[in-house]
Amino acid sequence: MQKNSKRGFTLIELLIVIAIIAILAGVVFVSLNPAQRFADARDARRQADVENVAAALKTFQVDNDGAYPATVTALVTGSGYTIGTNVSGCDTGCTAQTTQAACVDLTELVTDGYLGTVPLDPAGGLTTETDYYMIRNSNGTVRVGACDPDGAAISVTR
């Protein structure tokens, strides 16, 4: 009588282990929801961009005896403008918040050193239409917001 001294896993055992690992990987992948994580990351970027623009505007105002840049001062109070460099036809990307066809150009904040760059929406904003908006309020504050957030509305008033 000869004893089989070879030890190892059978093909069935290996297939069962691979199937269990695949099921666990699928459960982990679905529970992490990568699409939602990307949406959250885009919204976090939008929130930071909006806060940076609002802070740059407030710093400019403090340094200039309460005056905003000329492009912001010229805004019609209570009207929404898309941030960008397009002088007309700029209300197409942010129709929920904007009422004016002209953009508000914030390149003065960049050239004066208050803002590194005019931010662009992470989902595809352009320099001509950034997908961010601005509203100058009658009380002297300015509201800056994101046109198309993936989640809840994003805006800052200063």
Task: Count the domains in the chain.
Answer: 1
Say if 130 falls within a structural domain: yes
Distance between CA atoms of residues 4 and 43, nearest Å? 63
The parent domain of residue 134 ranges over 32-157
Say if 152 falls within a structural domain: yes
Whole-prediction pTM? 0.80
pLDDT, position 28: 86
Sequential DSSP letters for 108-125: HHHHTTS-SS----TTT-
pLDDT in tens, 118-134: 999 998 878 788 889 99
pLDDT in tens, 35-84: 898 999 999 999 999 999 999 999 999 999 999 999 999 999 999 998 98
**CA distances for 42 relative to 59, 129, 141, angstroms:** 26, 17, 26
- Inter-residue contact 100 to 80 (CB < 8 Å): yes
Say if 125 falls within a structural domain: yes
Say if 47 falls within a structural domain: yes
Say if 87 falls within a structural domain: yes
